[in-house]
Every structure is written in structure tokens, then in C-alpha cells.
Amino acid sequence: MPSFSGQHTLITSRPGHVEVIAGCMYSGKTEELIRRIRRTKYAKQSSVVFKHEWDKRYDAELVVSHLQNSIQAIPVGGAETIYSMSQDAQVVGIDEAQFFGMDLVDVCRRLAGEGKRVILAGLDKDWEGKAFGPMPFLLAEAEFIHKVYAVCVCCGADATRSQRIVNSREQVLVGERSAYEARCRACWTPVPIFAGKEEMDEG
């Protein structure tokens, strides 16, 4: 009987594949993306990193983790730009993948088909606990999936959800610690915790 160790080595005739790093806010997604891209530089592989132009929380042209580690990135508004600007790279990194449209799935598929290693980091669920943008389809496309966890600010358990703590119901609200907390399933609610009683009743 084959043994199962929790990790698999994918053997293919071409190097191209898709890796997805997924989790809630403050789970270390961007930190892991930066770590993997830096390792490719040690291996002398050419790489390029992209971020959505919406994300200007720490820097307009850097991917920055909450621990303040950073790496140079290109801000773009759409997935096709990622494809056109990745032709000379062996490794393509994409942060905050949930902000892109569904065409990102096809772009990643094409890049991997051309032999490139594609590494994405993104929120798997939005503040309502629903699948976020193209993320479920990217997870289905990926050869490798790395789920990361934060710490629940209420009870200390593994956190898998992003609790919105400002009174807004927009799906996309780019924010830092002033807008979100990491919560476990038991401590999380799909209503902004500062919402008024009337708004909570409607939800």
C-alpha cells in the first residue's frame, strides 16, 4: 500500500504549474509569496511579480507583507497585462489574486502551459464567508495548494475568516488592521461588527 506523508511531488515533462497560497487576512499569504519568489532568485531564475493597482496600502509598487517584508512588483489593472508582461520570466508571482477578474484563471492556465511557474496569493473567502472572485477556480486549476491560517483575535484558535470591523458592505474594501480582524468559525459573524442594529436585522 502506498504511504501518505501529506506532501506530494508532482512529476511532469514540463516545469509549468500553478501554486495557490490561500487563507484569511493576516494568515501570512503575502509573506509566503515573498519567501517563494526570493528562493527563485537564489536559484537564478527570472521572475516577475504583479499586484492589483487597487492595492496601495503600504506602497504603490511593492508587494508588502504585514510584517513589512517587501518585494518589487508591477501594479496592473487586469490579467491580460500580466500575461503580456510575463513572457521573459520563468516564475510569475501574483499577490491579492482575489481582486482580479475571472480572466486570471485562463491567463494562469496559459502561462503554466508555456512552462512557467505561477505563484498566486489571495483571500479564499470574502468578509461574508463567500468564495472571493476567481479564487475557487484558481484553486481548482492549481497543482499545488498551500492553506495558511491566522490566529483568532477572540479565542486564539486557528483563524480561517476575515471579520470586517468597519461599517461597510462592499465586497472589496482594501484595508489594514483598522478594517479587519482574523477570526475562527465560532467567533466570526458575516455582519460588520460595528453595524447598527437595524442593519444587522436586515442582514
Question: Can you tell me the distance from the alpha carbon of 27 to that of 14, in angstroms, rounded to the nearest whole number?
Answer: 31
What is the 8-class DSSP label of residue 131?
B
Which of 32, 96, 141, 181 is flagged as catalytic?
96
Question: Does residue 96 contact residue 51 with C-beta atoms inside 8 Å?
Answer: yes
- Bridge partners (DSSP) of residue 50 are 74, 94
Query: Which among 67, 76, 82, 11 has a CA at the least distance from the CA of 35?
Result: 67
Which residues neighbour 66 within 8 Å (Cβ) at sequence distance 6 or greater?
Answer: 26, 30, 31, 176, 177
Active site residue 53: no
Catalytic residue ranges: 96
